[in-house]
Amino acid sequence: MHKFENKILKMYWTLELASKLEDAPWPATKDELVDYAVRSGAPPEVVENLKEIEDEGETYDRIEDLWPDYPTKDDFFFHEDEY
């Protein structure tokens, strides 16, 4: 007899995964983001992460609402006006 443990799935974001949502139709609901991810061919991890969001009908305005640590252009220390 085998004993199986319940696995708790947790969202994880990487820069590569989160970047798949940059062109999403913001603002968007969880369902709209899942639909966008599926239609745009995002990796299955992105779709799973979105499905795991505890949602109460909220609208998300940007990727930072899902992953607060998402880096912005300012985080890269690259000054476009210098080139």
Cβ-contact 33, 60 below 8 angstroms: yes
Report which of residues 69 and 32 the model is more confident about.
Answer: 32
0.85 surpassed by pTM: no
Query: Which residue's entry shows tokens 């709209």?
Result: 32
Per-residue confidence (pLDDT) for residue 2, from 0 to 100: 37
Per-residue confidence (pLDDT) for residue 66, from 0 to 100: 86
User: In the predicted model, what is the mean pLDDT of residues 24-52?
Assistant: 95
Report which of residues 48 and 8 the model is more confident about.
Answer: 48
Exposed / middle / buried, residue 45 (Cβ in 10 Å: 0-12, 13-18, 19+): middle
> At residue 82, does pLDDT exceed 90?
no
Per-residue confidence (pLDDT) for residue 51, from 0 to 100: 93
